[in-house]
Amino acid sequence: RGGLSPPAAGGIFIMRIFVPAMGRVNTSNRDGSEVRFAEIARRWLAQGVELLLLLPKREIGVLESQGVRATWRVHWEPFASESDRLWNVLAIYLWRILTCPFARYPSGVDAVYAPSDFLFDLLPALFCRWKNPRARLVVCVFLIAPNPFKGYEKVLGKGFKLPSIRGLLYFTAQWLSVALARAAGATLLVLNSLDKDSLVAMGARAEKVHVVTMGVDGTFFDAVEATEDTPRFDGLFLGRLHPQKGLFDLVRIWRLVCDARPGSRLGVIGGGSDWWFSKLKQEIAAAGLTGNVELLGFRQGEDKVRLLKAAGCFLMPSHYESFGQVAVEAMASGLPVVAYDLPIYREIFPTGMIKTPFEDMRAFAGAVLRVLDDPEARQQAAAASRRRAAVFDWAAIAEQEMAIINNS
């Protein structure tokens, strides 16, 4: 097959894939694309695939903490700060973009896989592809940048907002990334059919865009149980601390829950910028919920699953998503999941999720109260969650994605 590595002993081909996994600045949290790549990478490695990763030193620990052991090529950078302040993020991203032409790229790779469409991942992928012209090129576009004049908060609602510098840069850079990937003949991966339509509207060829999904390791989740010392919460939130995730709706919803059910406790799992963390604490205090809401920080592995399994229900008031990985994890833990009725959920979660009208916080709180106070309703919702989670299996997804690479 054109471009494949020479056969190993016994005539077996070993697929060699180059991955520019430059990651984000703050390593104290994970976004969905990072989690997804780690899950798929582990399974590819177990099948004998050789992964050659270009990444900053700080990202090695992130991948190793998720069980990924690959061949690292460290991209040196003079920055150590993980601050999410705009000046620091821009400095690091610009360094990675401007210095990537001088990185050492391997020869003889069969495929180049960019785990995101950010320029600091895409440009190294294109340079490696230039050195390996017969290699297949795959680029993941796992979130469509919202219109900067609506932002994450208003992307599905009414009205407009003053665009932020970050929003303008993200929107503009994604259009450039898609144009570059399209010109290079890349195969593009998205998480839902609406995002595929968006890429086609941006000029991508429909046959070059494939819909894939996120997944869950059901065997791992089934093996973990909450212990006696696991904190018990009536509700649990898991996600990046960012307005996209409906953070401030979450506080107002829990205020309504506590008004009807005094003493109810909410656990918030997730990391994010110091600014949003402080802002969330202020909102919690202003709502009089300091004793009802506990910020648990970033959790992963068994620790995270125990917290999920010990909770009463899962709250997901996101304003904008491309899939909803944390919802799948909550479902695999047997939790009723309450969320706003986003258009993509109708495709991804036709069952297994309790959907409420967008931005209707009273309806959301009412749904939470029903599953907390009605054991039969909670049991039915939990059973539906488990059934839906079983559809999303990381092993099958890894095989599907390898087939896409082979046929691209």
Q: What is the mean pLDDT of residues 7-27?
A: 75
Q: Does residue 363 sit in the same domain as residue 403? A: no
- Structure confidence by residue, pLDDT tens digits, 176-185: 999 999 999 9
Q: Does residue 188 sit in the same domain as residue 271? A: no
- pLDDT on residue 5: 40
Q: Is the pLDDT of residue 194 over 70?
A: yes
Contact assessment for residue 284 and residue 257, using Cβ atoms and an 8 Å cutoff? no
Q: Does residue 76 sit in the same domain as residue 91? A: yes
Contact assessment for residue 315 and residue 266, using Cβ atoms and an 8 Å cutoff? yes
Confidence of residue 31 (pLDDT cuts 50, 70, 90): confident
- Structure confidence by residue, pLDDT tens digits, 152-167: 878 887 788 889 999 9
What CA–CA distances, in Å, run from 328 to 157, 253, 322, 336?
25, 22, 13, 11
Domain assignment present for 2:
no
Confidence of residue 28 (pLDDT cuts 50, 70, 90): confident
Confidence of residue 272 (pLDDT cuts 50, 70, 90): confident
As beta bridge partners, residue 335 has: none
Q: Does residue 183 sit in the same domain as residue 201? A: yes
- pLDDT on residue 354: 98
Confidence of residue 33 (pLDDT cuts 50, 70, 90): confident
Q: Does residue 204 sit in the same domain as residue 321? A: no
- pLDDT on residue 4: 35
- Structure confidence by residue, pLDDT tens digits, 226-259: 999 999 999 999 998 888 999 999 999 999 999 9
Question: Checking DSSP bridges between strand 313-316 and strand 354-356, what pairing results, if any?
Answer: unpaired
Here the CATH number for the domain that contains residue 254 is 3.40.50.2000
- Structure confidence by residue, pLDDT tens digits, 54-102: 999 999 998 998 899 999 999 999 999 998 889 999 999 999 999 999 9
- pLDDT on residue 11: 43
* Structure-block tokens of residue 244: 């996209």
- pLDDT on residue 3: 37
- Structure confidence by residue, pLDDT tens digits, 282-294: 999 999 999 999 9
The more confident residue out of 243 and 379 is 379
- Residue 146 has a CB neighbour count (10 Å cut-off) of 19
Q: Which residues have C-beta within 8 Å of that of residue 232, sequence separation ≥ 6?
A: 265, 310, 311
Domain assignment present for 1:
no
Domain assignment present for 235:
yes
CA distance 370 to 267: 19
Domain assignment present for 358:
yes
Q: Does residue 103 sit in the same domain as residue 157? A: yes
- pLDDT on residue 158: 78
Q: Is the pLDDT of residue 37 over 70?
A: yes
The more confident residue out of 358 and 158 is 358
Q: What is the mean pLDDT of residues 328-357?
A: 96
- pLDDT on residue 276: 85
Domain assignment present for 4:
no
Q: At residue 138, what is the residue type? A: V
Q: Does residue 188 sit in the same domain as residue 252? A: no
Overall domain count for the chain? 2
Q: Does residue 211 sit in the same domain as residue 90? A: yes
Residue the block writes with tokens 């991948």: 63
CA distance 179 to 198: 13
Q: Is the pLDDT of residue 7 over 70?
A: no
Confidence of residue 309 (pLDDT cuts 50, 70, 90): very high
> DSSP readout, 306-356?
HHHHHSSEEEE--S--SS-HHHHHHHHTT--EEEE--HHHHHH-SSS-EEE
What number of helices (H) and strands (E) belong to the chain? 16, 13
Q: Does residue 200 sit in the same domain as residue 271? A: no
Q: Does residue 130 sit in the same domain as residue 230? A: no
The pLDDT mean for the chain works out to: 92
Domain assignment present for 3:
no
Structural domain range at position 248: 218-389
Q: Does residue 77 sit in the same domain as residue 101? A: yes
Q: Does residue 251 sit in the same domain as residue 183? A: no
- pLDDT on residue 13: 60
Q: What is the mean pLDDT of residues 315-319?
A: 96
Question: What's the predicted TM-score (pTM) here?
Answer: 0.92
